[in-house]
Amino acid sequence: INVDVDHQARVMAAAPVEHVVWDGNQISTVHGNHGDVVSYHISGNSGLEWPKGSGKLAVFQSGIWLASGRTRAPGGDWVDELRTAAAEYTVEFVPGSIGSADANSGHIYQIHKKEVDAFLENDWATFQAMTIDLPITVVEGSSAFTEDIPKSLPTDDFINWPVHDGAPWKDANDDGDYNPADGDHPDILGDVFHWYVMNDGNAATHTPLWGTSPMNVDMQTSLFGFNQAGPMGNILFVRWVM
């Protein structure tokens, strides 16, 4: 890829690193908001179990790798310069959107299809009075798993859905403002949908691997899958928007 870069200092988001469990079908994986789709960082062991509940660990650690071969400063010409950003045993991404000072920028937002269905099938007043069981990540020492816990609707992630960071949503009245009381809601894929934004703009995180300068890119990340029989129930989809 070719990258336009801004070499000026950037204000970085203050979002902390989070790790949660995605286990929306036969796959269970620990993932983080800095690029790792499978993470050993909680347990020190393989982060992906398949089939879920079997105790069989399939992947130790995995994440996205990016590389660019040409860069251009504002107003300048394209030059040949290798830059990289990777998430593997160490990571070169940080949570949040470049330029954001919002501590919640980078939070892993988790939306279950059951909540969206309840929203679409009821009026706002009824929806606000509902409680449903949702899978919530529990971390105990070096173990991470989900438990179905009763949650009042709307959940915090539903009501605070980060459309300002690029999270997909349905604008029911086309006014450009996210307001669930007007019918707006997260536009999810699959049965369990996780979304966050990260960036590679912190030069300090680029030292452990190849030591290149940052590409200064935001990566909007979605994890989703379908809880059903057959092959689709054994696939975890990951979508990145740069």
Over residues 222-234, the pLDDT tens digits come to: 999 999 999 999 9
Give Rg (Cα) of the chain: 19
Nearest partner of 189 among 235, 130, 145, judged by Cα: 235
Domain count, the chain: 1
Q: What is the mean pLDDT of residues 59-71?
A: 94
How much is the pLDDT for 7?
40
* Token pair in block for residue 180: 């669930």
Residue 66 backbone dihedrals phi, psi, to 5 degrees: -125, 150
How much is the pLDDT for 231?
97
In a 13 Å sphere around the CA of 111, the CA atoms on its Cβ side amount to: 27
Angle at Cα 126 formed by Cα 124 and Cα 130, nearest 5°?
Answer: 115
Please, are residues 13 and 103 in contact by the beta-carbon 8 Å criterion?
Answer: yes
Q: What is the mean pLDDT of residues 44-70?
A: 95
The sign of the torsion formed by the CA atoms of 57, 38, 63, 230 equals: positive
Strand partners, 49: 28, 57
- The Cα 142–Cα 164 span in angstroms is 34
Please, are residues 209 and 85 in contact by the beta-carbon 8 Å criterion?
Answer: no
How much is the pLDDT for 3?
62
Q: What is the mean pLDDT of the chain?
A: 92
Q: What is the mean pLDDT of residues 189-197?
A: 98
How much is the pLDDT for 141?
87
Global pTM value: 0.93
- 4 pLDDT exceeds 60? yes
Give the containing element (helix H, strand E) for 238: strand 237-241
Please, are residues 215 and 85 in contact by the beta-carbon 8 Å criterion?
Answer: yes
Reported as a pLDDT band with limits 50, 70 and 90, residue 13 is very low
Query: Which residue range is the domain that position 237 belongs to?
Result: 2-241
- 176 pLDDT exceeds 50? yes
Q: What is the mean pLDDT of residues 167-191?
A: 98
Q: What is the mean pLDDT of residues 128-134?
A: 98
Reported as a pLDDT band with limits 50, 70 and 90, residue 2 is low
